[in-house]
Amino acid sequence: MKESNIALMEVCGTHTMAIARSGIKKLLPEFIRLISGPGCPVCVTSQSDIDKAVNLAGRKDVIMATFGDMMRVPGTFSSLANMKRNGADVQVVYSCLDALKIACSNPQKKIVFMGVGFETTSPTVAQTILEAKKRKIKNFFLLSNFKLIFPALRAICSMPDIKVDGFICPGHVSVITGADPYEKFAKTFKKACVITGFDDVDILKGIKRLVLMIKDGKYGVEIEYKRAVSKKGNPKAREILSSVFEETDSFWRGIGNIKGSGLHLRKEFESFDAEKEFNVKVPKPVFKKGCICGDVLCGKKTPEECALFGKACTPQNPIGPCMVSSEGSCAAYYKYGE
Amino acid sequence: MDKRITLAHGNGGRRMHELVEYFRGKFSNNMLNELADAAEISVKKGKIAFSTDSYVVKPLFFPGGDIGKLAVCGTVNDVSMKGARPLYLSLAFIIEEGFEFSLLEKIAQSIRNTALACSVKIVTGDIKVVEKGAADKIYINTAGIGVIEKNISVGTRARIGDYIIINGGIAEHGMAILNAREKLSFKSGIKSDCAHLNFIVQKCMKASRSISVMRDLTRGGLATALSEIAQASNLGIEICESDIPIKPRVKNFCNVLGFDPLYVANEGKFICFVAKKDIPRLKRAMSIESAVIGNVTKRHKRKVYLKTRVGSSRILPVLEEDQLPRIC
């Protein structure tokens, strides 16, 4: 392999931000190119899923509970932050269990938790649903937009115009999934994968291992984050997850529909399903013209290639999700660009 | 005294008179006791420093402080940053109807204790009570006056070659407040650094005559203060990530929530820009925890650069939006 063409994709948004924050790109030789992937849950949540949350937040009988970074994501007409400014009851929580507490202390209201995230987040939400069922809590609902990382990785590798030699794999997701599932993925697509942590040194060591693997023509998965990640991961968390959720097709902002890439509640838990409880219908989303977040999310383009970047689209006035999320590629480029 | 504050406590009648008397007793001094419309203050010839700030912190009581302590320290520190010796404060309350008197007592006691500790006198004040829902419990405004001794000139512009010293670990106030406000139920053990800096500043003024800028690091944190100074001075600033003091527990808590500690508020930290020769003396005056974190350069004018731990560098931008806890 020529030294001029090693392209590595950091899958996770936390990696994107850590790379920007520590200035790692400047330190790398020119032949290594880092591209950002689809692993920021805020960025890949589809516009109509945001519209649904906005719609629910606007109901008088609803308290919307959400992770902080979903607040400012623009839907077609509004954002949760906007709804809150206009009087809707939207509360930022750090954990789904906090949303359950809100439900218990507001029995006259319906509490909807905006469920967004990957395998790191969803098991704790599954546990909360089990808890809600056990305690027979009737006013707690989940708007499930959870996503799975492997279907997205496979989708990206199947795109003809994308060239990635190796993946910097997400440390926290891998704590749950373990390294084993990467093995099959790496073999199928002949890719080098290294799971690494979020410290600057973790990332540098991960990149080094990837470059060595690629130079040797090796594919497979290596763990550079052994203090947290094992081959088998956390089977207990996965068991809880699959007892509550099952796979479903899911729409990714920028990428489109990916088969089996989302999670929805199993039949026996459907009384907690906000979609069923409220039967929310939102109009077909209108996409902002000129926004290339989709291409940015699958690493086809860099934020700087977008005509809106830094001009019409800034963190104060974000147009696309990659600018609004604190861990989005555009936000990272804007914040730490020169 | 009634158990709760009512609109009658602000209507000029008997109840208000009782409340005014209560505060007068609490903060008693010759100037306040006159209860005139304005306090009369004698000052020596020369310059005075004058500053005001409003305090709307939520929750009112937090690990390491409360709104009363904050209202005194905040203004005392602002006045001190001009190299002045703060002497007098005004104190004004906006109280929401229904506020518990016992909490007001706690806040008043805290104001009294802090003012005593800072050696400042509360010489004038005001109380307004607003209808339920028109304010969130209680707001406090203080204004402060301090005297600037002869030959002291601390400005807003840094000089090329200045070094930057900070008096201790960053981000403690903001993270303590966040944990208390959002009821995140982390047993973080982080306390606000809320403290008055006037005596430390006096020591600094004695230790060095070469301080060009002093700035307390409140909202927006260290990064925002540095950006403002770089712009005001029309010069560049370079700081080194690994030299910036931060307690491990504060750093870890920031990490968990996805907060950048450089932008998190402080209430007892300040930076001094000073000539190289005075660094050792100034460090001794500031604190045992003080550290040199960077310097002023001709390069990259009006911008702040951070040398990262792994030897790269990047710009330290101005904060765009409030930081929010992240998903994972």
Confirm if B213 and B155 have CB atoms less than 8 A apart: yes
**Mean per-residue pLDDT over chain B, rounded:** 93
Which chain B residue's Cα is nearest to A334?
Answer: B317
Digit-by-digit pLDDT tens for chain A (338 residues) are 445 589 999 999 889 989 999 999 999 999 999 988 888 888 899 989 999 999 999 999 999 999 988 998 888 889 999 999 999 999 999 889 999 999 999 999 999 999 999 999 999 999 999 999 999 999 999 999 999 999 999 999 998 888 899 999 999 999 999 999 999 999 999 999 999 999 999 999 999 999 999 999 999 999 999 999 999 999 999 999 999 999 999 999 878 899 999 999 999 999 999 999 999 889 888 777 888 888 888 778 889 999 999 999 988 888 887 888 877 889 888 888 76
Considering CB atoms only, which of A42, A68, A327 is closest to B325? A68
Phi, psi for A286 (deg, rounded to 5): -100, 120
Q: Is B323 on the interface with A (CB under 8 A)?
A: yes
Strands A192-196 and B61-62: unpaired
Tell me if B258 and A172 make a contact (CB, 8 A cut-off): no
Considering CB atoms only, which of B260, B309, B313 is closest to A200? B309
CA distance A121 to chain B (A): 7
Confirm if A112 and A274 have CB atoms less than 8 A apart: yes
Tracing tokens 């973790």 back to the chain, one arrives at A202
Which residues 22-61 of chain B have a CB within 8 Å of chain A?
none
Give the angle subtended at the CA of A11 by the CAs of A7 and A13, to the nearest 5°: 120
Which of these, A87, A92, A116, lies nearest to A102 by C-alpha position? A92
Q: What CATH class is the domain B163-315? A: alpha beta
Q: Hey, what long-range contacts does B183-188 have (CB within 8 A, 24 or more apart)?
A: B183/A98, B184/A94, B184/B257, B184/B325, B185/A98, B186/B253, B186/B256, B188/B249, B188/B253
Collect all residues of chain B within an 8 Å Cβ-Cβ radius of residue A81: none
Tell me if B315 and A316 make a contact (CB, 8 A cut-off): no
pLDDT number for residue A142: 98
pLDDT number for residue A338: 62
Q: Angle between the B14-27 and B101-118 helix axes, to the nearest 10 degrees?
A: 30
Distances (CA, A) of B33 to B26, B36, B105: 11, 8, 19
Tell me if B312 and A24 make a contact (CB, 8 A cut-off): yes
CA distance A197 to chain B (A): 13
Measure the CA–CA gap between A316 and A189, rounded to whole angstroms: 39
More confident residue, A4 or B143: B143
Domain B7-148 CATH (choose: 3.40.50.170, 3.60.15.10, 3.30.1330.10, 3.30.70.990): 3.30.1330.10
Sheet with strand B138-148: strands edge to edge: B47-55, B138-148, B85-96, B121-130
Give the angle subtended at the CA of A213 by the CAs of A211 and A218, to the nearest 5°: 145
Q: Is B312 on the interface with A (CB under 8 A)?
A: yes
More confident residue, B291 or A295: B291
CA distance B274 to chain A (A): 28
Determine the structural domain holding residue A185 and report its residue range.
1-338
Amino acid identity, position A45: T
Collect all residues of chain A within an 8 Å Cβ-Cβ radius of residue B313: 23, 26
CB atoms within 10 A of CB A201: 13
Which of these, A210, A244, A263, A207, lies nearest to A49 by C-alpha position? A263
Measure the CA–CA gap between A306 and A320, rounded to whole angstroms: 11
Chain A residues at the B interface, defined by Cβ less than 8 Å, are: 14, 20-24, 26-27, 41-42, 67-72, 92, 94, 98, 116-118, 120-121, 172, 200-201, 204, 314-316, 326-327, 335-338
Per-residue confidence at B327, pLDDT binned at 50, 70, 90?
low
pTM as predicted: 0.86
Tell me if B324 and A69 make a contact (CB, 8 A cut-off): yes
* Residue A265 CB partners (closer than 8 Å, separation 6+): A129, A142, A144, A244, A245, A272, A273
In eight-state DSSP terms, residue A107 is T
Measure the CA–CA gap between A166 and A33, rounded to whole angstroms: 11
Measure the CA–CA gap between A132 and B314, rounded to whole angstroms: 46
> For B100-130, what is each residue's pLDDT tens digit?
999 999 999 999 999 999 999 999 999 999 9
Which of these, A229, A154, A216, A214, lies nearest to A185 by C-alpha position? A154
Which of these, B232, B225, B235, lies nearest to B265 by C-alpha position? B225
Neighbouring C-alpha atoms within 13 Å toward the C-beta of A192: 22
CB neighbour class for A63 (10 Å; exposed up to 12, middle 13-18, buried from 19): buried
* Residue A22 CB partners (closer than 8 Å, separation 6+): A200, A203, B308, B309, B310, B312, B314
Q: Is B257 on the interface with A (CB under 8 A)?
A: yes
Tell me how long chain B is: 328
Tell me how long chain A is: 338
Tell me if A116 and B327 make a contact (CB, 8 A cut-off): yes
Collect all residues of chain B within an 8 Å Cβ-Cβ radius of residue A98: 183, 185
CATH of the domain at A199: 3.40.50.11740
Measure the CA–CA gap between B273 and B295, rounded to whole angstroms: 8
CB atoms within 10 A of CB B188: 18
Tracing tokens 């706690």 back to the chain, one arrives at B106
Distances (CA, A) of A290 to A252, A294, A298, A332, B164: 18, 11, 17, 20, 44
Q: Mapping DSSP to helix (H, G, I), strand (E, B) and coil, where does residue A262 land? A: strand
CA distance B65 to chain A (A): 24
Amino acid identity, position A179: A
Collect all residues of chain B within an 8 Å Cβ-Cβ radius of residue A14: 258, 328
pLDDT mean over B169-198: 90
* Residue A226 CB partners (closer than 8 Å, separation 6+): none
Tell me if A27 and B312 make a contact (CB, 8 A cut-off): yes
Tokens of A262: 């989302």
Tell me if A23 and B308 make a contact (CB, 8 A cut-off): yes
* Residue A85 CB partners (closer than 8 Å, separation 6+): none
CA distance B61 to chain A (A): 21
Distances (CA, A) of A327 to A10, A333, B176, B323: 12, 10, 24, 12
Collect all residues of chain A within an 8 Å Cβ-Cβ radius of residue B321: 72, 315-316
Q: Domain segments of chain B: what residues? A: 7-148, 163-315
Burial letters A157-190, b for 16+ CB under 10 A, else e: beeeebebbbbbbbbbbbbbbbbebbeebbeebe
Considering CB atoms only, which of B184, B312, B313 is closest to A94? B184
Mutate to test the interface with B, among A22, A91, A173 (most CBs of B within 10 A): A22
Measure the CA–CA gap between B60 and B67, rounded to whole angstroms: 5
Sheet with strand B236-240: strands edge to edge: B213-216, B270-274, B163-166, B291-297, B236-240, B304-307, B313-315
In eight-state DSSP terms, residue A161 is T
pLDDT number for residue B235: 96
Question: ipTM score here?
Answer: 0.78
